[in-house]
Amino acid sequence: MVMKETVKKYSTVHYRNYLGLDKILNAQELRSAQLDDKPAHEEMLFIIVHQVYELWFKQIIHELESVLELFDTDNVDEKNIGTSIHRLERVIEIQKLLVAQIRVIETMTPLDFLDFRNHLFPASGFQSLQFRIVENILGLPEDSRLTYNGCPYFSVFSEPNQEKLKDITTKSTLFDAMEHWLERTPFLQIGDFNFLEQYKAAVAKMIEKEEKAIKSSPYLNMHEMEMRLQMLGNTDTYFQSVLDESKHMELIEKGEMRMSYKATIAALLINLYRDEPLLHLPFKLLTCFIEIDDALTTWRYRHSQMVQRMLGNKIGTGGSSGFTYLRETAIKHPIFKDLHNISTLLIPRSDLPELPAEIKKALGFYYSSQQSN
């Protein structure tokens, strides 16, 4: 019997067809041209900028879904951390473009916008399904969202799309996957080494040293000295969210914290010992989530500034309060604020508890560990 060799066939494709340029370049339908005697020149820019936003949102969703798939498991392959960082860094670069695009649309003056704004009702950026998908995949909690004209944010979408958004929130989000991954972090308790006990002692030592420096300063009057000491805090107040689990749970119940106690401790350890070789990538991963959150907040704020510049205090085309609503989302819609707040708990490298030799070895690269032996 003669085996036939399978030959893989490659088809040819033209640049224009591969990119679907006929669809893309003919997707700008100016309503001013349809409804007025003369098309508004600036409407072309307005449409293209928002279409580009939606294309970038699609790419962001593509990257975030892939990272979620890599982390939404009980056993995260360490090789996937580097892949995830690479993809999240791509998201961050795209977010920079999203912010930069606002400067492009701001080349249109408020008067230019008024030439066609009356044709946009009731269309609005609030109706961007993909942007809401991005928020939901990242893990923006439902109870933290501002209402849209007194209604849930998803009320502007069709029933199938409402179900799609709700379905994302019932599954694991990137916040959930990150939290569960942190909770599985080793090294918090190995042998005789208890990270929390060592950390508490280091905090007490640091505070004692700084109190002494404040009280002995010849440049501070009594009022300034009291203010500095109050700002410094102590082991019963300033650091209580990690030194006392019950206090941490109280803050979660009040809505002031969201991340679990164990995940918070793990994030703290990673931040404190980031210089250890095996913690480089975990630290970089946490930094990516912070930067994505920062970029999202920056975009929200710049968007609100642009809307105020274009509309002042006018109501948005979708019926929202416009500038006021957008500004409030920048303040109230951060997702990874618990990671930002880890900075509150950091202590100087010189005050860090010394890691036991076996943990130091475990956190090092094999070659360098062998050399140290």
Are 335 and 361 a contacting pair, CB within 8 Å? no
Domains of the chain and CATH, by start = 38-372 (1.20.58.480)
β-partners of residue 148 are 151
CB atoms within 10 A of CB 240: 17
Q: Cα separation of 284 and 82, whole Å?
A: 9
- Residue 336 is predicted with a pLDDT of 97
- Residue 134 is predicted with a pLDDT of 97
Contacts of 262 (CB under 8 A, 6+ apart): 182, 183, 188
Three-class DSSP labels, the chain = CCCCCCCCCCCCCCHHHHCCHHHHHCCCCCHHHHHCCCCCCCHHHHHHHHHHHHHHHHHHHHHHHHHHHHHCCCCCCCHHHHHHHHHHHHHHHHHHHHHHHHHHHCCCCHHHHHCCHHHCCCCCHHHCHHHHHHHHHHCCCHHHCCCECCECHHHHCCHHHHHHHHHHHHCCCHHHHHHHHHHCCCCCEECCEEHHHHHHHHHHHHHHHHHHHHHCCCCCCHHHHHHHHHHHCCCCCCCHHHHCHHHHHHHHHCCCCCCCHHHHHHHHHHHHCCCCHHHHHHHHHHHHHHHHHHHHHHHHHHHHHHHHHHHCCCCCCCCCCCHHHHHHHHHHCCCCHHHHHHHHHCCCHHHCCCCCHHHHHHCCCHHHHHHHC
- Residue 161 is predicted with a pLDDT of 95
- Residue 237 is predicted with a pLDDT of 65
Q: CA angle, corner 115, sides to 114 and 118, nearest 5?
A: 65
β-partners of residue 151 are 148
Structure tokens at 55: 């294309």
What are the pLDDT tens digits along the chain (373 aa)? 556 666 677 788 999 999 999 999 999 999 999 998 889 999 999 999 999 999 999 999 999 999 999 998 888 888 899 999 999 999 999 999 999 999 999 999 999 999 999 998 888 888 999 999 999 999 999 888 887 777 888 988 999 999 999 999 899 999 999 999 999 887 666 667 788 888 988 988 888 888 888 888 888 888 888 888 777 766 566 678 888 899 999 999 998 899 999 999 999 999 999 999 989 999 999 999 999 999 999 999 999 999 999 888 766 555 555 778 888 888 899 999 999 999 989 998 988 988 888 888 888 875 444 545 4
For residue 46, which amino acid is it?
F
Structure tokens at 265: 């401790």
